Chains A and B, each alone.
Chain A
Amino acid sequence: MEKAALEALHNVKDPEIDSISIVDLGMVEHLKAEGSTVMVELLPTFMGCPALDIIRKNVEAELGKLGSFEKIEVQFIYHPPWTSDRVTEKGRIQLKEFGIAPPPELISETGEWHVECPFCGSAYTTMDNLFGPTACRSILYCKSCRNPFEAMKPVSTMM
């Protein structure tokens, strides 16, 4: 039953990046099915994100479609905090498909981060604005193919 539930969560996409599911974003911390009850614990990416309520409703709807749960509980928890290294390999590819560079895998101690252009793959990029159209994204510019693009912000507990 849990397997089917987890499979269903793959259908819940980020409302603002519809190529990636909340599973591949690393937001699903815990899923437990017992009898006709299912409980899901999700980690919010950024707390002020207005998509959180939409995600909650979509999770309830997808699990409801399975027809085997009478009680569906969706909770947002803060611990452990979501960090950008929770995005899966598949998720990183899906972000690129959407035109968003995945978060850098390693954050160097100097605070520098190198981001490859999602269009041409060049590392010759500059940061335009740390803050982007949504809380979890930054705006960058590729000096090779001369396209502006967005990247997922790196978030780590070391900060």
Chain B
Amino acid sequence: MNKPDNKPFDPAIKSALTALLYQLADDDFILAYRGSEWLGLAPHIEEDVAFSSISQDTMGHAAMFYQLLEDLGEGNIDSLAHGREASERKNAVLLEMVNGPGHYLSTAQYDWAFAVVRNYFYVQAKKVRMDSLKNSSYQPLADVALKVNMELYYHLLHWKTWFVQLMQAGGEARPRMEAAIKKVLGDFEGVLTLGPLGNEIAEHGLIEAEERLKQRWLFMMEPVFESVNLSVSESVFAMKNGNGRKGEHTADLDAALSTLSEVYNVDPAASW
């Protein structure tokens, strides 16, 4: 791993940098977990292969961001991933929401429209971030962004294809997709925000300003929306279920954490 030089850090830069890294790591971590719950339940077998591969990549990205935090003295990578309470997590609330009613082992009634829209909108936002991070003032983060970006290319292609096809499919597809879009946008501001230290993060050149990234997301999405006859106004972007960047979360996250950290909590040194 690329260790940063052991130069002392300006404390103001360090707190902005760690704030950003926790968002990046926690976002990918929880969405990769939600993706893994779909295993065996995706609409068809090829999708099962693709989605689990994407989730595996995404978990790999989370691991790289947690590694950068470990390198900065924030603690061990496994405890960062498994050992933190919901109130310490900085992921967007949208990404922690359950896939749908029921449990993946028995009664799952997951919503594929929600999966497609949440993943597509998030992955495009992540792509905008990675493109900006390639020029980050923190070189180890710029290196990671370049690596993530190469894998992200395939994820974006995948979700965009699903989105465009389902938006134009007949039957119940369109109304279900529109309901999912409404739900996702109702918490999408929580994905786009850089949190309470957003200004400092941008001022130190770690990533560009929040508003710029948001406009770039809209710029990338507009041609796609137009191609499927959809109009989206940024006035509907909201954080209906709280601001995860401030540690505000839902019961969905508590339930997910207690499941995914079960083994870690029994034996923190277990390997599998």
Contacts and interface: CB of A to CB of B under 8 A. Distances in A.
Contacts of B153: 159
A127 to B, nearest CB: 11
A78 B130 CA distance: 15
A20 to B, nearest CB: 20
Given A48-B58, A130-B158, 8 more contacts: A47-B148, A48-B61, A81-B143, A132-B49, A135-B53, A135-B57, A139-B49, A157-B149
Interface of A: 46-50, 75-79, 81, 83, 128-135, 139, 153, 155-157, 159
A133 B157 CA distance: 18
A46 B53 CA distance: 11
Contacts of A79: 2, 143, 146-147
Mostly helix, strand, loop or mixed at chain A's interface? loop
A155 B154 CA distance: 10
A81 B49 contact: no
Interface string B1-26: 11000000000000000000000000
Nearest to B161: A130
Given A47-B64, A78-B64, A132 B53 contact: yes
A36 B147 CA distance: 33
Contact of B149 (A48, A76, A77, A159): A159
B50 A129 contact: yes
A159 B144 contact: no
Contacts, number: 76
B191 interface: no
Contacts of B58: 48
Chain B: interface residue count, which band?
A: 20 to 34
Contacts of A48: 56-61, 63
B186 to A, nearest CB: 30
12 contacts: A47-B151, A48-B60, A81-B143, A129-B49, A129-B50, A131-B49, A131-B154, A133-B49, A135-B53, A135-B60, A157-B146, A159-B153
Contacts of A153: 154
B228 interface: no
B46 interface: yes
A159 B127 CA distance: 11
Interface in B119-172: 143-144, 146-151, 153-154, 157-158
